[in-house]
Structure 1
Amino acid sequence: ELVSTENSEYHTNTQTFEVVLDIGTRYIVVDCGGGTVDMTVHELDNKMGTLKELYKATGGPYGSVGVDQEFEKLMSSIFGKELIEDFKIKRPAGYVDLMIAFEARKRTASPFKNSPSNISLPFSFIDFYKKKKGSAIESAIRRFNDPDIKWSTQGMMRLSSEAMKRLFHPTVEKIKSTIGDVLNSPDVKGIHYLFLVGGFAESPILQHEIRRAFSSILKVIIPQDVSLTILKGAVLFGLDPTIVNVRRSRLTYGVSVLNRYVSDYHPPEKKIVKDNIEWCADIFDKFVLVDQSIGLGDTV
């Protein structure tokens, strides 16, 4: 049973439906974690429910930490890069408190939310800035002169919904671009479903952007307990590793061998002579090529 959820400022619409996959159905899994986003494409192979991997796991460093990095860049722009770096070194606990405060607002950021996000800057940061610059922290925010970023009388930095969305934008765009590259691969035509999973997939902003970008060409499915889905899958795979009966090789595998030396083909530094016969050393004899399909139980 899978759940698709659309949130708005005024209502929550939750649709529960069961997805029935027929033989030959292809789907892409997009696992959005904290550090990386990993993707793979599977095809339902037979009635027993075994899977064929059509596209080897790919992705990149586009996890939710990218949003944290954008926030740090924003703080550096407002208060000075040197001060932020100095604060990280001299007040590491305070820096952790700062990022925890941002994390709380990052998790609740929504494309349907018009109210601002209040980020409580830790006292250690406020005190550090005042001692270094000799002025109050709100003066730096005023000088930055961004209408979407203000200082509240409650002692918080207030980001408008647009400012918060801008922090997500670079990371979300990289994720969408990588998904697009996979979908455009000639080897994986005919994908019907996109499963969005992982901790970062809980973000309403990411969910909205993925739906907006791809729901016209395939069905975007966000399972219930999205952050636990990968763990559940790992447990199920551990119980029955044969469920994926065809995989794509991540690397090229082989062994080093000797071949007869060919003077106009092999490099001279690799030539060795044994029993008056010229050999070329370090020839890589390939057993399996990268991205080659390998069936369960295949031998070489």
Structure 2
Amino acid sequence: MLEIALEPEVAAVYCLNLPLEERKTMWDLGNIGQSFLVADLGGGTADLAAIKVNAKGTLDIIRHAQGALIGGQNINSAFFQAIHESFEGDLFKTVFRDPIELLEMEDDFEHKKVNIVSTKELKCSINLTVPSQFRNGLLQNEIRLTEEAKKKGGLQINRDKLLFDPSYIKEYFFKETCTRISKEIEKMLKLPELGNVSIIVLVGGLSGSSVVVSQIKDLLKESFPEVRVVVPTSPFRAILTGAVLYGHNPEILNSRRSPATFGVKTNSLFDAAVHKSDKKWIHSASGKAYCKDIFSVHVWEGELIVLNEKQPVKKYFPMDANQTEVKLKVFMHSARDISLDESKVLYTSDDGCTELGEMIVKMPDTSKGTNREVFVSFVIGAEIEVKAIDETSKEEFEVKFEFLNTLNLCKQKEENELGAQNI
């Protein structure tokens, strides 16, 4: 069976399996009852998850944030921006039109940037594989530093080498990226449910940079002086090794906050005091007034759910006495940063609602008319599984949706088809 977990989650699994001596140097990371924040800093995104070690020694994901578009690639972009602003000459403009040589230069910088030290006392020279025409232009003075670059003094030329001052590197290459990452972390730490978080664990390739770690520590210290920032010995291995460990023991992840609200589309008896008037329709067989497009919620966004455990069951009934099947449409609602009011009616036509799919429940025995129950429940784990049982025939039906794909689906058009009702 395929098991799916998010990168910060498996990084937490990795950290829990570190040697005791190393975890002690990380402020006893992994103790029972401890809450910590994992920040996976990669090339394109910074992914965050707040995690608590429960009494059983397994992990509860108390908060997960989708990746912010900030990472090592932003530092690369800042590097090239600095190069463009620091040099002049007609040959310079020609050289930087060759995409292959630019990619080689970026690849060289990508490997060397994590080894740039944060020590103020040391000069930091980077011997980059610059394009051959660029090297020749430097030697022949056809490519030269601008007067503004000379005044800044952070970048110097030594034959075919570019020499950078550490303060220049931190200010112009790393600062903006580290500031944006810190703001994402601060935004998480300010959430009420994260009040007990005292440790931030940095993992991922970018966390191997001492400059990144040092700047994030300094920036967070201003707003959260009591929070400790730690990095495992091999931060770049945390995801891959953690994924392997998780694969051997998926039960290590006990629960997580639901990233969205999940439920099914149904009909309810119309109540003018509660329902929207434009949702009212009259059932021809019974003459009763119903409200359509009701979002019958099974799991609320932000609700702490035990993974792979059946959620509370709800029951539904066919609309017509001779109806031999019920079509259950499964919906997701993402409120993003907006808190849902569980006392108000949610409609499947509301903004933020997305249809995930549908399930046909066969109900061939019509002897009880509309007094036939369909029991529906959700199970959320690596997949979102919806199960339904026809109470009369005892036949079970199920439909599954990939967990990660559900958050990226676009809103689909509503279809007025025969469905179910709940009383």
**What secondary structure does 2:232 align onto?**
coil
**Aligned amino acid, residue 60 of structure 1:** A
Query: Alignment identity in percent?
Result: 24
Aligned match of 2:382? none
CA shift for structure 1 position 246? 1.6
User: 1:112 Cα deviation (Å)?
Assistant: 0.2
The AA in structure 1 aligned to 2:158 is T
Partner amino acid, structure 1, of 2:249: D
Q: Once the two structures are superposed, what CA deviation does each residue of 1:187-219 show, in whole Å capped at 9, x if it has no partner? A: 122223222211111000112123333484133
Does the CA-based 8 Å contact 2:26-2:230 persist in structure 1?
A: no
Residues 186/17 of structure 1: CA separation in 2 closer, same or farther (3 Å cut): closer
Match of 1:26 in 2: 35
Q: Look up the match of 2:303.
A: 292
- Separation of aligned partners in 2, 1:196 and 1:155: 35
Q: CA deviation at 1:243?
A: 1.1
Distance in structure 2 (CA, Å) of the matches to 1:267 and 1:126: 71
Counterpart code for 1:112: T
Is the contact made by 1:75 and 1:84 (CA closer than 8 Å) also made in structure 2? Answer: no
Change (3 A) 1:59 1:239: same
Q: CA deviation at 1:266?
A: 2.0
Q: How does 1:145-184 map to 2 (within 5 A)?
A: 145-166=150-171, 167-184=173-190
1:69 aligns with 2:77: yes
TM-score, normalised with respect to structure 1: 0.79
Deviates more, 1:94-103 or 1:257-266: 257-266
Rate the CA distance shift 1:84–1:28 in 2: closer, same or farther, 3 A: farther
Which stretch of the first structure deviates more once superposed, 281-290 or 30-39? 281-290
Q: 1:29 to 1:243 in 2, by over 3 A?
A: same
Letter in 1 for 2:239: I
Give the helix-richer structure, 1 or 2: 1
Partner of 1:103: 110
Query: What is the rounded CA distance, in whole Å, between the counterparts of 2:106 and 2:60 in structure 1?
Result: 41
The residue number in structure 1 matching 2:217 is: 211
* Distance across 2 between alignment mates of 1:41 and 1:73: 34
| 1:195 corresponds to 2:206 | no
Map of 1:12 onto structure 2:
none
1:94 counterpart residue number: 101
Q: Describe the SS at the equivalent of 1:126.
A: helix
- Deviations for 1:46-91, whole angstroms, at most 9, x for unmatched residues? 1x411222112444122111111212322333358xx999867x52
Aligned equivalents of 1:102 and 1:3: distance in 2? 34
Q: Which runs of 5+ in 1 are unaligned?
A: 5-14
- In the superposition, relative to structure 1, how do residues 287 and 148 fare at CA in structure 2: closer, same or farther (>3 Å)? farther
Q: Number of paired residues?
A: 281
TM-superposition CA deviations, 1:126-160 (whole Å, max 9, x none)? 28989xxxx8111x534644433444231233321
Alignment equivalent of 1:232, drawn from 238, 241, 261: 241
- Whether 1:41 and 2:50 are equivalent positions in the alignment is yes
Q: How far 1:267 sits from its partner (Å)? A: 5.8
1:121·1:157 contact (CA, 8 Å) conserved in 2? no
Distance apart, 1:16 and its partner CA: 5.5
**3-state DSSP of counterpart to 1:49:** coil
User: Tell me, which stretches of 5 or more residues in structure 2 are unaligned?
Assistant: 1-18, 313-423
- 2:236 counterpart SS class: helix
Whether the 8 Å contact between 1:29 and 1:194 is mirrored in structure 2 is yes
* 2:259 equivalent to 1:254: no
- Does residue 283 of the first structure (1) align with residue 294 of the second (2)? yes
CA distance in 2, matches of 1:53, 1:255: 25
Partner Cα separation in structure 2 for residue 20 and residue 117 of structure 1:
36
Contact 1:87 / 1:128 at 8 angstroms: preserved in 2? no
TM-score (norm 2): 0.58
**Local SS of the residue matching 1:165:** helix
Larger gyration radius, structure 1 or structure 2: 2
| Structure 1 residue identity aligned to 2:311 | T
Q: Write the distance in 2 (CA, Å) between the matches of 1:33 and 1:105.
A: 15
* C-alpha separation in 1, matches of 2:270 and 2:125: 69
Measured in 2, the distance between the counterparts of 1:267 and 1:124 equals 72
How far apart are 1:23 and its partner, in Å? 2.5
In structure 2, the CA distance between the partners of 1:127 and 1:16, relative to structure 1 (3 Å rule), is closer
Distance across 2 between alignment mates of 1:239 and 1:278? 54
